[in-house]
Amino acid sequence: MRSRWPPCRVRHHRRCAYTARRDRPGRRTGACVARGYDPHEIEPRWQKAWDAADLHRADEEGDRPRFYALHMFPYPSGDLHMGHAEAFSLGDAVARYAWARGFEVLNPIGWDSFGLPAENAAIRRRAHPAEWTYANVETQAATMRRMGFAFDWSRRLHTSDPAYYKWTQWLFLQLYHAGWAYRGDASVNWCPNDRTVLANEQVIDGRCERCDAVVTKRTLTQWFLRITAFAERLLDDMAQLEAYWPDRVLNLQRNWIGRSEGARIVFRIEEADEAIVAFTTRPDTLFGATFFVLAPEHPRARALAERGGATADFDEYLDQVRRRTEMERLATEGRKDGVFLGVHARNPVTGERMPVYAADYVLMEYGTGAIMSVPAHDQRDLDFARAHGLEVRVVVQPPDTELDAASMTEAADGEGVLVNSGPYDELPWRAAKRKITADLAERGDGEPAVTYRLRDWLVSRQRFWGAPIPVVHCEDCGLVPVPEADLPVTLPERVDLHAESVSPLAADPDWVRVACPSCGQESRRDTDTMDTFVDSSWYYLRYCSPDRDDVPFDREAVRRWLPVDQYTGGIEHAILHLLYSRFVTKALHDLGHLDFVEPFTRLKSQGMVLMGGAAMSKSRGNLVEPRAILDEYGADTLRLTMLFAGPIEDDIDWADVSPAGTFRWLSRLSRLVDEHTGSGGTVEAGDAAAGADLRRATHRTIAAVTADFEQFKYNTAIAKLMALANAISDALRGGVRGPAVQEALDAVQVILAPMAPHVAEELWHRLGHSDFVLRAPWPTADPALLVDERRRIPVQVDGRVRDAMTLPVGASQAQAEEMARELANVARHLRGRRVARVVWVPDRLLNFVVADD
């Protein structure tokens, strides 16, 4: 059907909403009818030009200062989502700003391309995981190019490439040789659905982080990395991150590491010639310990039960406990169960015999797996004592309440003064802690100790799509690491992912069979692959020299670029990825491979992108995809909308923002430039004072916006650019022409370029420049233009603003008062009242304080 409207005359893309509207009249129109602003023409054109000039390649030579801008690399699960769009918009703004500030910038990109989703997709599609993975990588790469991100594509990497995971395996062997990778039995988290073990960090509320299945415990022999050996340094080195990382992230890591100070105390078992060590943070309550509890999995528990004649009870309890899921275990909180082992531990200070129990409220993984129980001062112990009829004895008297041991239901776990504690009576609890610990140490019955909540990092995965653990199991030689020369241990090209009983690699006998590197006899490869967080724990090093096949990273290049100057990424990686990377960096440092101990000097985390208050998802029907926005408005609008929405660390609700509004502004800016360049000549035809006002506005904006960029406050930076654009518009309307306008528009483009690079580039060229805007130096504010000649001073009477006056800067109080008293409204409020005092804040405010008498 032929439209009765004339066709849009403006040269623009067919997706322009004007056209779309004619085709589909019911459709709510976007703003895309702007004369002169056609992102669908501008954006590809400049992307091509940048590529042709190799503009974003990081130069290894040259003597400009270097800046490593890194954004967390994506996992290729389909196309980029809105979260990626925001995150990379931030990362790209950081990188482009660094360029403008004169740095040589490294802004690389790659993919975290190993992982379980590829395997699940492969099972559904009966294809190799690589197929799905690399197809998604290409999709994401294409969208990134449309977004116009200034990546150095020549350094692109994928963790699933053998050329990369060869060095992930090298890293594993480095840790192994240093004794920081070990195989151990442990009660581990097992996801029955994904049929693999999980790291502690991947279990959320007793469920699998990935698939939400209820996690159970299994005792298996697995590979661990000894991150706990670095716990103290992971805490201590936060000192150097404090000013540069979000407090929130450091706080999360501190919580996660969970350092607690206390003592290890030795308790001798009455009926056996042995001693069990317990960890406590409250050695001051030792006189109140009335029983003793072991974790059911404690290595000595069964032997003690045997000695106490409680074997049957113990076995039954252990069996019951083992069948519990984590969730069931937690559900027993408050109604403690456990079993008496028939033996007694001697309290080293009171000499009393304390019954020994096994109960699963004591965890084998924490402390020593054994505790002294002080029911009066620990809620869990009190619950247990009440359930089992055990004695409660108050030994720390809190300052404000009277405790009754017989009836108390809430343990007093706070401060107080010692009672019922022999020689320690009347000591404040903190002093008693130190004293009792010291006395025990002197007698050999204990020592000060620190325990961490952090566990060693479980890295074995019984999955296919990951880096194989480069170890051979030989009957004679035991564990034999694969020699470095034989790396990488590559994945088999064909794989059956449907094997139910064993992991995919174990199901491939040809792959498993290998000659022992040590003795040559037929042996078996380790069939586990590594947690993908191992892959991502060192990728920032690989970007320095991604093509080297003889070393994981070129030491000189690492020296040139690292540590990362500015790392950006999602808060969801506050613990896992960031903690692992910090650990690996420290380990490689200690092994002499790096000369720094923290990989990321500065960190900024962006918030999430929501839609209607909820996470976007296809099933929820609130999914907005970057491509849709790109199609309608282009990359600059999408990027700028994200950055304008609010502080970058806050969540964005897409329902609250307006890409149409952003698009309108870019169109307006574009028209402003055209209006200026078409206004003819560079003659200052306008009012000289108005021109000077515009120049002051320009320089004030430069100064303020620069401060904003330094603090990642892009939302306010954009607001200030908008305000300057309004000022330019007013100036043009007021007849101002020429250099003042040119200067203002130039500044806007250079400042806008990190956030909306295509339109800034286009307008920069329309303004008469021939080189790329990326090569233009960041504008500097002229201090002389930051000072006002006159200022508007509010006048208050008794703290309430009654009027305002304009005074020259530096005016005296006398001048100000004189002028203020003549203001009609001020005079009115002062009439008949006595001025008791005048507050004069030079160049800011005048306040008459009146006395009513």
CA atoms within 13 A on the CB side of 493: 0
Position among 77, 120, 139, 332 found at the interface with RNA (CB under 7 A): 332
Q: Which residues contact 599 (CB under 8 A, 6 or more apart)?
A: 540, 541, 562, 563, 564, 567, 581, 582, 585
Q: Is 117 an interacting residue with respect to RNA (CB under 7 A)?
A: no
As measured in angstroms, the least distance from the Cβ of 219 to RNA is 17
Element containing residue 241 per DSSP (H, E)? none
CA angle 343, 347, 351 (to 5 degrees): 100
For RNA, the closer CB: 195 or 791: 791
As measured in angstroms, the least distance from the Cβ of 758 to RNA is 19
Segment interacting with RNA (CB under 7 A) among 131-139, 253-261, 559-567, 622-630: 253-261
**Which residues, 431 to 460, sit near RNA by CB under 7 A?**
451, 453
Task: Say if residues 100 and 754 touch (Cβ distance below 8 Å).
Answer: yes
Amino acid at 145: R
The number of beta carbons lying within 10 Å of the beta carbon of residue 270 is: 15
In 3D space, the residue among 547, 544, 581, 539 whose CA is nearest the CA of residue 561 turns out to be 544
For RNA, the closer CB: 482 or 697: 697
Segment interacting with RNA (CB under 7 A) among 332-340, 347-355, 469-477, 764-772: 332-340
For RNA, the closer CB: 60 or 365: 365
As measured in angstroms, the least distance from the Cβ of 797 to RNA is 8
**Which residues, 714 to 773, sit near RNA by CB under 7 A?**
715-716, 718-719, 722-723, 726, 729, 733
Segment interacting with RNA (CB under 7 A) among 175-183, 494-502, 680-688, 795-803: 795-803
For RNA, the closer CB: 106 or 826: 826
As measured in angstroms, the least distance from the Cβ of 201 to RNA is 8
Segment interacting with RNA (CB under 7 A) among 423-431, 497-505, 664-672, 762-770: 664-672
**Which residues, 259 to 278, sit near RNA by CB under 7 A?**
260, 262, 278
Kindly state the tokens that stand for 212: 């939400």
As measured in angstroms, the least distance from the Cβ of 200 to RNA is 7
Q: Which residues contact 227 (CB under 8 A, 6 or more apart)?
A: 234, 454, 456, 457, 579, 580, 583
Segment interacting with RNA (CB under 7 A) among 395-403, 507-515, 648-656, 811-819: 648-656
Segment interacting with RNA (CB under 7 A) among 308-316, 520-528, 581-589, 800-808: 800-808
Kindly state the tokens that stand for 340: 């008496």
Segment interacting with RNA (CB under 7 A) among 304-312, 468-476, 643-651, 779-787: 643-651
Pattern 560-599, RNA, x by CB under 7 A? ---------------x------------------------
Segment interacting with RNA (CB under 7 A) among 79-87, 90-98, 357-365, 475-483: 357-365
**Which residues, 12 to 51, sit near RNA by CB under 7 A?**
18, 21, 29, 31, 33-34
For RNA, the closer CB: 365 or 674: 365
As measured in angstroms, the least distance from the Cβ of 608 to RNA is 10
Pattern 455-494, RNA, x by CB under 7 A? ----------------------------------------
As measured in angstroms, the least distance from the Cβ of 654 to RNA is 10
Element containing residue 510 per DSSP (H, E)? helix 509-512
List beta partners, residue 567.
Answer: 70, 603
**Which residues, 671 to 700, sit near RNA by CB under 7 A?**
671
CA dist 173 and 225 (Å) reads 11
Using DSSP's 3-state secondary structure scheme, residue 112 falls into: coil
Give residue for tokens 């504008």.
779
As measured in angstroms, the least distance from the Cβ of 603 to RNA is 15
Residues in contact with RNA, total (CB under 7 A)? Answer: 93
In 3D space, the residue among 88, 93, 246 whose CA is nearest the CA of residue 715 turns out to be 93
Position among 334, 483, 680, 808 found at the interface with RNA (CB under 7 A): 334
Strands (E), 745-787: none
Element containing residue 577 per DSSP (H, E)? helix 576-590
For RNA, the closer CB: 542 or 829: 829
Segment interacting with RNA (CB under 7 A) among 50-58, 232-240, 245-253, 754-762: 245-253
Q: In the chain, helix, strand, coil percent, each to 5?
A: 40, 20, 40
What angle separates helix 626-633 from helix 635-644, to the nearest 10 degrees?
120
For RNA, the closer CB: 281 or 677: 281
Q: Is 183 an interacting residue with respect to RNA (CB under 7 A)?
A: no
As measured in angstroms, the least distance from the Cβ of 594 to RNA is 28
Give residue for tokens 């290049």.
557
Amino acid at 363: L
Q: Is 667 an interacting residue with respect to RNA (CB under 7 A)?
A: yes
CA dist 446 and 277 (Å) reads 8
For RNA, the closer CB: 43 or 360: 360
Give CA 55 to chain center in angstroms.
29
Q: Is 231 an interacting residue with respect to RNA (CB under 7 A)?
A: no
**Which residues, 834 to 853, sit near RNA by CB under 7 A?**
837, 839, 841, 844-845, 847, 849
Q: Is 365 an interacting residue with respect to RNA (CB under 7 A)?
A: yes
As measured in angstroms, the least distance from the Cβ of 37 to RNA is 10
For RNA, the closer CB: 156 or 388: 388
SS (H, E, C) 38-96: CHHHHHHHHHHHHHHHCCCCCCCCCCCCEEEEEECCCCCCCCCCHHHHHHHHHHHHHHH
Task: Say if residues 539 and 157 touch (Cβ distance below 8 Å).
Answer: yes
As measured in angstroms, the least distance from the Cβ of 798 to RNA is 6
**Which residues, 156 to 175, sit near RNA by CB under 7 A?**
none
Using DSSP's 3-state secondary structure scheme, residue 841 falls into: strand
Element containing residue 143 per DSSP (H, E)? helix 129-147
Instruction: Output the DSSP codes for 429-456.
Output: HHHHHHHHHHHHHHHTSEEEEEEES---
Position among 361, 580, 654, 712 found at the interface with RNA (CB under 7 A): 361
What angle separates helix 82-100 from helix 626-633, to the nearest 10 degrees?
60
As measured in angstroms, the least distance from the Cβ of 312 to RNA is 22
- Rg (alpha carbons) of the chain, rounded to whole number: 35
Kindly state the tokens that stand for 503: 């992991």
Structure letter (DSSP) for residue 786 = G
Kindly state the tokens that stand for 186: 């442990």
Pattern 369-408, RNA, x by CB under 7 A? x-x------x-x--x-------------------------
Start-to-end C-alpha separation, the chain: 84
Segment interacting with RNA (CB under 7 A) among 85-93, 143-151, 329-337, 758-766: 329-337
Phi/psi for 778 (5° steps) reads -60, 135
What angle separates helix 659-677 from helix 626-633, to the nearest 10 degrees?
30
**Which residues, 188 to 207, sit near RNA by CB under 7 A?**
204
Give residue for tokens 């002028």.
819
Q: Is 333 an interacting residue with respect to RNA (CB under 7 A)?
A: yes
As measured in angstroms, the least distance from the Cβ of 28 to RNA is 9
For RNA, the closer CB: 22 or 766: 22
